[in-house]
């Protein structure tokens, strides 16, 4: 092999190796920042609220620099949302969550979180139902997301458009074949919180839905 060609190949290999090392170190560096941030979200004893808040604010600054970095931006924005959530600042929390959903629009659980944030701040119903519908489109049958979306929609029942009320009942029928006892109890408690008029309307919907509807009617009647 000619010396010039050998030198060019060696230079190319060295350049690729250097790039791989730099990328690897970049990912390791982000991993440290992300892991440290996640550790702050865990329950800890003997740490004052003021100290914990300062540590979270510092972690926000460290993780913020990764939000536009290729390969880690999605994870960084999810971590930023969780840190902001721990600070209990709903307006900023909602902004961070929207940032995350911009790059991860198929995150069904996070769409559900957004619907709750909007409901808690008294947003327009269209904004709330838009987030609920995105949760349904992106995670239509994932059990945990489906269960908590249904619970939220039971809470909002009388405000929902007719098509979403029907979807809620259809999802309940689907859940009848999949939920565990403690999950069924959550549905029963959500139902019990509704007014007698709303309960009756929901029972009529369930009566028209065969075995799955009867499962919930029996479960709901058992609370009395």
61 lies in the same domain as 130? no
Within 41-142, residue ranges assigned H as helices are 49-64, 73-86, 90-103, 108-120, 125-138
The string of pLDDT tens digits covering residues 19-61 is 444 455 566 777 778 888 878 778 777 778 788 888 888 888 8
How much is the mean pLDDT over the chain? 82
Please give the structure tokens belonging to residue 153: 């929609």
92 lies in the same domain as 54? yes
Residue 71 has pLDDT above 80, yes or no: no
Question: Measured between alpha carbons, how far is 118 from 121 in angstroms, rounded to an integer?
Answer: 5
- pLDDT grade, residue 4 (50/70/90)? very low
| Closest-CA residue to 191 (of 212, 162, 160, 220) | 220
45 lies in the same domain as 146? no
48 lies in the same domain as 123? no
Give the HSE-up count for residue 18: Cα atoms under 13 Å, Cβ half-sphere. 6
The percent of residues above 70 in pLDDT, for the chain, comes to 87
145 lies in the same domain as 97? no
Q: Containing domain of residue 137, as a range?
A: 112-224
143 lies in the same domain as 85? no
**Predicted pLDDT at 9:** 47
User: 104, 124, 151: which is the final residue of a domain?
Assistant: 104
The string of pLDDT tens digits covering residues 79-88 is 888 888 888 8
Report the predicted TM-score, pTM, of the whole model to 2 decimal places. Answer: 0.72
Residue 128 has pLDDT above 60, yes or no: yes
Please give the structure tokens belonging to residue 87: 């600070």
151 lies in the same domain as 211? yes
Residue 193 has pLDDT above 70, yes or no: yes
Tracing tokens 């999810």 back to the chain, one arrives at 78
Q: Check residues 107 and 70 and name the one with the higher pLDDT.
A: 107
127 lies in the same domain as 54? no
The string of pLDDT tens digits covering residues 161-186 is 999 999 999 999 999 888 888 888 89
């Amino acid at each position: 092999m000619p010396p010039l060609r050998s030198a060019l190949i060696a230079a190319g290999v060295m350049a690729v190796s250097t790039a791989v090392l730099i990328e690897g170190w970049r990912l390791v560096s982000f991993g440290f920042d992300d892991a440290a941030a996640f550790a702050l979200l865990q329950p800890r004893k003997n740490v004052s609220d003021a100290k914990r808040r300062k540590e979270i604010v510092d972690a926000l600054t460290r993780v913020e620099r990764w939000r536009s970095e290729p390969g880690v931006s999605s994870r960084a924005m999810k971590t930023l949302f969780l840190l902001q959530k721990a600070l209990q600042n709903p307006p900023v929390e909602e902004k961070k969550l929207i940032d995350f959903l911009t790059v991860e629009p198929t995150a069904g659980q996070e769409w559900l979180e957004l619907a709750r944030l909007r409901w808690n701040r008294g947003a327009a119903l269209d904004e709330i139902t838009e987030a609920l519908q995105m949760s349904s489109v992106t995670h239509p049958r994932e059990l945990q997301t489906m269960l908590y979306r249904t619970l939220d929609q039971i809470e909002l029942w009388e405000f929902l458009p007719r098509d979403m009320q029907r979807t809620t009942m259809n999802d309940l029928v689907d859940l009848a074949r999949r939920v565990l006892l403690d999950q069924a109890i959550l549905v029963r408690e959500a139902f019990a919180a509704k007014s007698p008029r709303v309960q009756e309307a929901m029972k009529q919907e369930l009566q028209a839905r065969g075995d799955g509807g009867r499962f919930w009617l029996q479960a709901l009647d058992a609370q009395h």
